[in-house]
Amino acid sequence: MKPTRPFHQTPVITIDGPTASGKGTVAALVAAHLGFHLLDSGALYRLSALASVRYGIAPEDAHGLAKLVDDLHITFREGLAQLDGVDVSTEIRAEEIGKRASAIAVHPAVRAALVARQRAFRKPPGLVADGRDMGTVIFPDAALKVFLTASVEARAARRHKQLIQKGFSANMDDLLRDLRERDERDSTRAAAPLKPAADARLLDTSALSIDQAVGEVVQWYRALPGVQHDGAHGKQ
């Protein structure tokens, strides 16, 4: 008998949500747990933002940015993000780069230029993809779509901790204001706004530990028809 939901040969789990909702950490751990590849799509937007600073392309210049993104030389190796062969993993995490990433992400031409790069991460045995539009635009046929939420206060506290740990300075009031602004821009832009896919499962992580959130996603995935207990995907 055919499963009720058609599966692509290589399964994808999408984890979308607002900034600092914990999706990056949860996605990385779910991927490690299942032995799946990982796509941190925000890192692609951040790399593009960093490149736009380096090459002096204005955040309003949609055409210039799309061309820049087409020509970007980026690689991910063992969790490190490289631009033009140089590791920039720390630089792209700066708040300024996050803000610029959000600003350039409003342009449909920039988003279109990143589509193929994102889909290329889909390789056996599977992929966990985190971002804003993974379930709605990039992988609409994902086996499991998760939308993570958390209160803005919980997210600001997490982001504060993260930044301090990475050696950046951080102020709670500034972070709260920036998160609200970023949420507003990411969810109201015309192109691929941040919103749960119609078939996404919502997971509020405000009061959950990381392990609990990861456990929930893995359990949801394993309970899907056609998924074997070890996480491998059944034949169609």
Interaction site with ligand DC (CB under 6 A): 19, 41-42, 45-46, 98, 101-102, 105, 131-133, 182, 186
Using alpha carbons, select from 159, 162, 131 the residue that is nearest to residue 147. 131
What is the Cα–Cα distance from 58 to 49, expressed in whole angstroms? Answer: 10
Rounded to 10°, the helix 41-54/108-119 angle is: 130
Is 23 within any annotated ligand binding site?
yes
Residue nearest to ligand DC (CB): 42
Contact 190, 2 (CB under 8 A): no
Residue 225: CB minimum distance to ligand DC, A: 28
Residue 132: CB minimum distance to ligand DC, A: 4
Q: Work out the number of other CB atoms within 10 angstroms of the CB of residue 24.
A: 20
Residue 114: CB minimum distance to ligand DC, A: 8
Is 19 within any annotated ligand binding site?
yes
**Given the complex with ligand DC, which of 52 and 102 has the nearer CB atom?**
102
What is the Cα–Cα distance from 83 to 198, expressed in whole angstroms? Answer: 35
Residue 230: CB minimum distance to ligand DC, A: 29
Is 81 within any annotated ligand binding site?
no
**Given the complex with ligand DC, which of 42 and 126 has the nearer CB atom?**
42
Q: What is the DSSP letter of 137?
A: I
**Given the complex with ligand DC, which of 36 and 45 has the nearer CB atom?**
45
Q: Which residues pair with 74 in a beta bridge?
A: 83
Contacts 24+ apart (CB under 8 A), 151-160: 151/206, 152/176, 152/179, 152/180, 152/183, 154/205, 154/206, 155/18, 155/19, 155/20, 155/21, 155/179, 156/20, 158/20, 158/22, 159/19, 159/20
What is the Cα–Cα distance from 36 to 200, expressed in whole angstroms? Answer: 20
Is 232 within any annotated ligand binding site?
no
What is the Cα–Cα distance from 165 to 184, expressed in whole angstroms? Answer: 27
Residue 119: CB minimum distance to ligand DC, A: 12
Is 17 within any annotated ligand binding site?
yes
Is 25 within any annotated ligand binding site?
yes
**Given the complex with ligand DC, which of 34 and 92 has the nearer CB atom?**
92
Is 20 within any annotated ligand binding site?
yes
**Given the complex with ligand DC, which of 122 and 186 has the nearer CB atom?**
186
**Given the complex with ligand DC, which of 92 and 214 has the nearer CB atom?**
92
Residue 23: CB minimum distance to ligand DC, A: 7
Q: Which residues are annotated as a binding site for ATP?
A: 17-25
Q: Which residues are annotated as a binding site?
A: 17-25
